[in-house]
Amino acid sequence: MQIVYAVYNQYSDARRAHASCPDPTVRKDRAATPRESIACTSGMATGLWRTVGTLFLSLLLGACATTPPEPTAAETARDLQAVIKSEHLTDGRGRFREVLCTVLDQHGRDQPDYRPCEEALRKLEPESGATNEPVALGTSKANYLALLVPGLGWNCFEEWLDISGSAPAYAARFGYELRTVPIDGLSSSGNNARIISEYVASLPEKDAGRPIILIGYSKGTPDILEAVTSYPDLAKRVAAVISLSGAVRGSALADDASQATANMLTMVPGSKCEKTDGDNDAVASLRPAVREQWLATHELPTEIRYYSVVTYPAPERVSWALENSYKLLGEQDSRNDTQVIIFDQIIPGSTLVAFLNADHWAVAVPVARGHSIVGSTLVNHNDYPREVFLEALMRYVEEDLSAGR
């Protein structure tokens, strides 16, 4: 229960900061809307992200975790090769590196959070799959419809984040359309699988026949895997599934977390999630035993191509708000992104695309750009070239699908 009290106290601090806001247009008898929160004070923003950060850390439990030793490069190479063999993976990292490096060089220097290719990716040897072929940089003609399925609690603070003007808008310049599936952030993977199926079935007529690429971020990945397995009509329309920091095999942090803790996200100012929505069972879907059992008893549709993008930050790329979960999870395996161990992010039978030098939030949650004070303190390593990464990912998958590899 300590974590629940900690979250509540931080939320109360945020509300007190809001109550002292000098802006006379902000009401004091209710929680602020996202725009009011942003317009108010940095104290409110900091309190909000302390609340959200604590919830996503899942387990502070009053203990201080220490940073565990990092396995040697040789040990990691050995473990990776064992996973590639046992999970029947295709190593596509070499070709994706070629694609991302080219896109970063040609399109990325004027985009936010630019960094050189060697800093954007981590190289775990041996890395294979390079082709030395030129990278197409024109507008896509494939007419793909990419659908993002976000993770736990996303709709609780989606409006505050406001990702509408970032990576999706940028990718659209090159013919790649990305929409977000409105799943229930506090529900189980089974419940969200149904939502995904219904969303695709209700797409307008103009989208009929368009090949669909499902991108699962964090818990969104198991939601997608359950969807394509449980709903054959959906699977027929899906060309590819991409795991992005996906909790394919769950997270050990969920073993000691509770749904009650996750439900505290409903108190985030501007939250659009309610614990009465859906089946209110999201945390259980992230427990490793649940995910392992599901994978052992279900066969993924073979007509769909699967891709795995793993987040694996260097220690200096972990944001302050995520350091505790990084260390706690590191007691099991230091090779993690603060929420999920790197090998647990990989879909069996998939193409291994990349190891990104980014923590779990940096790859998909643009906190720092819209909230500079939070970005310079709590979420201080949130910068990542998401726009260019998304373009490179879509170009890579399009090329791979067209080649029929």
pLDDT along the chain (405 residues), means of 10: 34 44 42 41 43 42 58 95 97 98 97 95 95 96 96 84 76 95 95 98 94 97 98 98 98 94 83 82 97 98 98 96 95 96 98 98 85 87 95 98 83
DSSP state of 71: P
Handedness of CA 366, 277, 149, 262 (dihedral sign): positive
Pick the CATH number of 70-255+271-403 from 3.40.50.1820, 3.40.1500.10, 3.40.50.1000, 3.20.20.70: 3.40.50.1820
Alpha-carbon distance 130 to 109, whole Å?
23
Alpha-carbon distance 201 to 336, whole Å?
36
- Preceding peptide of 315 cis, ω within 30°: no
Do residues 211 and 143 make contact, with C-beta atoms less than 8 angstroms apart? yes
Identity of residue 27: R
The tokens for 359 are 């923590």
Do residues 141 and 395 make contact, with C-beta atoms less than 8 angstroms apart? no
Contacts of 174 by beta carbon, 8 Å cutoff, 6+ apart: 138, 139, 140, 391, 394, 395
Other CB atoms within 10 Å distance of the CB of residue 208 = 8
pLDDT at 11: 40
Identity of residue 308: S
pLDDT at 156: 86
Tokens 């993008």 belong to 309
Do residues 183 and 214 make contact, with C-beta atoms less than 8 angstroms apart? no
Angstrom distances, CA of residue 206 to CA of 85, 203, 213, 232, 355: 42, 8, 16, 22, 36
pLDDT at 164: 58
User: Which of 161, 128, 138, 107 is closest to 364 using CA atoms?
Assistant: 161
Q: What angle do CA 309, 368, 224 make, to 5 degrees?
A: 30
Domain limits of the chain?
70-255+271-403
Contacts of 242 by beta carbon, 8 Å cutoff, 6+ apart: 213, 214, 215, 216, 306, 307, 308, 309, 353, 393, 397
User: Which of 261, 266, 273 is closest to 192 using CA atoms?
Assistant: 273
